[in-house]
């Protein structure tokens, strides 16, 4: 069996833009997404993915087959790393439990703690803690 490392491209790169979310977040700031993508549109963007191998497949059936095979390979390789996914359209203070611990450990070295969700607004959850729309990733 041979393993091929796959490198994905961001939604910003797919749209022909330079991604800036992480660079901006590391300065301790967040910007409103250029294009808010929520609900079905967000699900479609996630399902289309960012792997060039998947994007080359022109119809949804071929993309689904590629994605199914890719996920199957991941699950077969290391099933213990698969985690349950909670409702992505809701963010609660408890969602920041791990981020708060990281903030306590890192102090001022941690510029920003961000939980991503399927929404349209950046919501503050305390000092340097924010919930941000997933679509910020490609803004």
Note whether 30 and 24 are within 8 A (CB): yes
What pLDDT, on a 0 to 100 scale, did the predictor assign at position 1? 56
Distance between CA atoms of 117 and 123, rounded to whole angstroms? 10
User: Three-state SS for 19?
Assistant: coil
What pLDDT, on a 0 to 100 scale, did the predictor assign at position 42? 83
What pLDDT, on a 0 to 100 scale, did the predictor assign at position 79? 56
Domain that holds residue 112: 11-138
Residue 114 lies in a domain: yes
Residue 4 lies in a domain: no
Residue 106 lies in a domain: yes
Residue 77 lies in a domain: yes
Number of domains in the chain: 1
Residue 5 lies in a domain: no
What is the number of other CB atoms lying within 10 angstroms of the CB of residue 6? 11
Residue 6 lies in a domain: no
> Counting Cβ atoms within 10 Å, is residue 46 exposed (0-12), middle (13-18) or buried (19+)?
middle
Residue 2 lies in a domain: no
What pLDDT, on a 0 to 100 scale, did the predictor assign at position 82? 44
Residue-level pLDDT, tens digit, the chain, 139 residues: 566 676 777 777 887 888 888 888 888 888 777 778 888 888 877 777 777 777 788 888 888 888 788 877 777 766 554 456 556 678 888 888 888 888 888 888 888 888 888 888 899 998 889 999 988 887 7
Residue 67 lies in a domain: yes
Distance between CA atoms of 34 and 136, rounded to whole angstroms? 8
């Amino acid at each position: 069996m041979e393993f091929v490392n796959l490198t994905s491209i961001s939604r910003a790169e797919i749209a022909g833009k330079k991604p800036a979310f992480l660079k901006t977040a590391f300065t301790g700031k967040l910007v409103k997404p250029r294009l808010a993508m929520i609900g079905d549109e967000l699900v479609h963007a996630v399902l289309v993915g960012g792997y060039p191998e998947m994007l080359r497949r022109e119809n949804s059936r071929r993309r689904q087959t590629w994605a199914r095979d890719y996920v199957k390979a991941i699950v077969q390789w290391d099933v213990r790393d698969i985690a349950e996914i909670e409702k992505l359209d809701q963010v609660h203070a408890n969602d920041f439990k791990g981020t708060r611990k990281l903030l306590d450990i890192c102090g001022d070295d941690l510029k920003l703690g961000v939980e991503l969700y399927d929404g349209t607004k950046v919501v503050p959850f305390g000092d340097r803690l924010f919930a941000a729309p997933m679509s910020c990733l490609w803004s």
